[in-house]
Amino acid sequence: MKTAIKTELFASRAPLEWAVVGNGTLYTAQIPIDAQGQVVEGGIEAQARQTLDNLRHTLEAAGSSMDAVTQVLIYVTDRKYLATVNSLYTDYFQAPYPNRAAIVVAGLAREEMLVELVVYACL
């Protein structure tokens, strides 16, 4: 049994939910889009911050917080972007940090996206 989490994020036209809960675990994938569904401009720092803000919003909509995150999968389109994501990471997470992996990919679903996060959290 899964339950969708209602958020205020832009309603995607794709057949997806921004977050679902199953068996006490929240599953979500976050991208750097604003309230109008546009990928934010300003490079990797602006996109990483928007993605992390969207994650925080989603967790709060589920009645939770960043402290509940157990694993983060970071996808970036250039290895050099990882330093920026790392520098922002501690603005959003505190020790003990979630387990994580970082993957460099050739591209993401929207060509202008530089980062995407796949996140699991205990509720």
What is the spatial distance between Cα 71 and Cα 121, in angstroms, rounded to a whole number? 7
Classify residue 3: in a domain, yes or no: no
Classify residue 13: in a domain, yes or no: no
Residue 76 belongs to domain spanning: 19-122
Domain count, the chain: 1
Classify residue 7: in a domain, yes or no: no
CB contact at 8 A, 119 and 30:
yes
What is the spatial distance between Cα 20 and Cα 112, in angstroms, rounded to a whole number? 26
Classify residue 2: in a domain, yes or no: no
pTM check: above 0.85: yes
CB contact at 8 A, 57 and 9:
yes
Classify residue 4: in a domain, yes or no: no
Classify residue 6: in a domain, yes or no: no
The per-residue pLDDT for 117 is 98
The per-residue pLDDT for 90 is 95
Classify residue 12: in a domain, yes or no: no
CATH number at residue 115: 3.30.1330.40
The per-residue pLDDT for 44 is 98
Give the list of residues 6+ apart from residue 1 with CB closer than 8 angstroms, or none: 22
Closest CA to 55 of 44, 45, 41, 69: 69
Task: Place 39 in a pLDDT band, splitting at 50, 70 and 90.
Answer: very high
Task: Give residue-wise pLDDT tens across range 53-96.
Answer: 999 999 999 999 999 999 999 999 999 999 999 999 999 999 99
CB contact at 8 A, 110 and 31:
yes
